């Protein structure tokens, strides 16, 4: 294995419930829209659509709210600005165990990359806000937001990351938290480890090489390779998962 390719939302940090959702609601309020996404509604939208603008179109359509693509894009830009303010205020943190794994991979000489639907400007702010300086610049490639034509569950972010890294799917491992992310990684030919978040832990993870509910002291959700019950998701575990998947 030569590379780890990281998803961001829900995987590196629990950004959804108290980050993106809050930012969307404030953007809707500022735009004068009669919409507020509670936690249950937002969880439903996460499962239904990947990408913020896509969730807005889906939800507005079923509410009978007609907005142009330009209006949706403008609201989403305001949402991104609000989300960045939340990040700068220190209200979002990396999930426990993430930074330790990034350091392990860096010290072992593995390449690390990001493949996310988050917008590039928000991604830059998040990495600066939640990661220490020694791992912040670790990522050789960052594929984000609208840099590709189709968002997850399409494989575009992963195929583009692999292309830029100059490696084959067999040489990398995807780290995800959701069904859509798993589908994207598998469609790109990658083995995928799921570290589910609160919003995604009840998902179906058929096709994952391993699925757990946390980076430290996790509960196992799916274990087709017979890995067992790890104390934490560390580099040794990921190397063994990758080896078994491709053996």
pLDDT over 90 at 48, yes or no: no
Q: If residue 123 lies in a helix (H) or strand (E), which one and from where to where?
A: helix 120-130
- H helix intervals, 31-119: 39-48, 52-63, 69-88, 98-107
Q: What is the pLDDT of residues 181-205, one digit of tens each?
A: 999 999 999 999 999 998 899 999 9
Helical packing angle, 120-130 and 69-88, nearest 10°: 10
Question: What's the rounded Cα separation, in Å, for the pair 84 and 58?
Answer: 24
pLDDT over 90 at 110, yes or no: yes
**Domain layout of the chain by residue ranges:** 3-14+93-246, 16-88
Query: What percent of the residues of the chain are helix, what percent strand, and what percent coil, each to the nearest 5?
Result: 50, 15, 40
Q: Is the dihedral of CA 32, 34, 39, 45 positive or negative?
A: negative
pLDDT over 90 at 47, yes or no: no
Q: Which of 25-29, 142-146, 164-168 has the lowest mean pLDDT?
A: 142-146
List active site positions.
7, 9
Q: What is the pLDDT of residues 112-134, one digit of tens each?
A: 999 998 889 889 999 999 999 99
SS3 assignment, position 220: strand
Q: What is the pLDDT of residues 22-44, one digit of tens each?
A: 999 999 999 999 999 999 999 99
pLDDT over 90 at 50, yes or no: no
| Nearest partner of 33 among 22, 43, 25, judged by Cα | 25
Angle at 62 (CA atoms; ends 56, 68), nearest 5 degrees: 50
Give the CATH fold of the 3-14+93-246 domain.
Answer: Rossmann fold (3.40.50)
Q: What is the pLDDT of residues 68-99, one digit of tens each?
A: 999 999 999 999 999 999 999 999 999 999 99
Per-residue pLDDT, 160: 97
Give the CATH fold of the 16-88 domain.
Answer: DNA polymerase; domain 1 (1.10.150)
């Amino acid at each position: 294995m030569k590379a780890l390719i990281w998803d961001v939302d829900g995987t590196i940090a629990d950004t959804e419930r108290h980050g993106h959702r809050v930012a969307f609601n404030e953007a809707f309020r500022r735009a004068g829209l009669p919409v507020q996404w509670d936690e249950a509604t937002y969880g439903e939208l996460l499962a239904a659509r990947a990408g913020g603008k896509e969730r807005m179109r889906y939800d507005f359509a079923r509410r009978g709210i007609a907005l142009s693509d330009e209006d949706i894009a403008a609201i989403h830009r305001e949402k991104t600005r609000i989300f960045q303010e939340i990040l700068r205020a220190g209200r979002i943190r990396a999930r426990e165990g993430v930074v330790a794994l990034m350091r392990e991979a860096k010290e072992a000489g593995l390449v690390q990359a990001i493949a996310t639907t988050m917008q590039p400007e928000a991604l830059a702010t998040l990495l600066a806000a939640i990661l220490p300086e020694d791992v912040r610049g670790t990522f050789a490639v960052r594929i984000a937001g609208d840099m590709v034509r189709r968002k997850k569950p399409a494989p575009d972010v992963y195929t583009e990351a692999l292309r830029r890294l100059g490696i084959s799917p067999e040489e990398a491992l995807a780290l995800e938290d959701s069904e859509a992310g798993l589908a994207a990684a598998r469609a790109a030919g990658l083995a995928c480890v799921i570290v589910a978040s609160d919003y995604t832990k009840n998902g179906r993870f058929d096709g994952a090489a391993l699925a757990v509910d946390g980076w430290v002291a996790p509960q196992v959700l799916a274990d087709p390779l017979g890995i067992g019950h790890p104390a934490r998701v560390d580099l040794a575990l990921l190397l063994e998962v990758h080896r078994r998947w491709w053996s």
